[in-house]
Homo-oligomer: A and B are copies of this chain.
Amino acid sequence: MNPSAPLSRTPEAPYYAVIFTSLRTADDRGYDAMAMRMAALAASQTGYLGMDSVRDADGRGITVSYWRNEKSIRIWKANEEHQQAQQGGKLMWYSDYQVRIAKVERGYGKMQEAE
């Protein structure tokens, strides 16, 4: 991700979030190119609303992508090129990961008071 990029803004809830937590291996083969490609490919999908992604120097990462509905998440998961990337993640790039699919019910930011 572009380090100077702003935080994602999303429309009014409800919408969906996919929370992807991961630990990277030391195996860098093709990782950066895949990650950039997947970010661009996700952004081209119907129902995509945005993404926030952070990884620290120890290889611990959290990526949250935002989606209009569950259907758009299922179609993205089944995307053929994404399926290949998921296989690479399982076999090479991640020593561990967890995926959580969640319905965002409310939200607020620095400039807005919480409900």
> Cα distance A101–B100 when bound, in Å?
13
A residues contacting B by CB (< 8 A) are: 1, 3-4, 6-10, 13, 17, 19, 21-23, 52-58, 60-62, 64, 77, 90, 94, 96-110, 114
Q: Within the oligomer, what is the number of copies of this chain? A: 2
Whether the pair A57, B57 counts as a contact (CB closer than 8 A) is yes
> Cα distance A64–B22 when bound, in Å?
13
Least Cβ distance of A60 to chain B in Å? 5
In-complex Cβ contact of A105 among B1, B52, B56, B101 (8 A): B101
> Cα distance A4–B59 when bound, in Å?
10
Evaluate whether A94 and B114 lie within 8 angstroms (CB atoms) in the complex, with A54-B56, A60-B3, A105-B101 already known. Answer: no
Residue of B nearest to A78 (CB): B114
> Cα distance A57–B90 when bound, in Å?
26
Q: Which residues of B contact A62 (CB under 8 A)?
A: 52-54, 62, 64
> Cα distance A55–B13 when bound, in Å?
26
Q: Which residues of B contact A98 (CB under 8 A)?
A: 7-9, 107-110
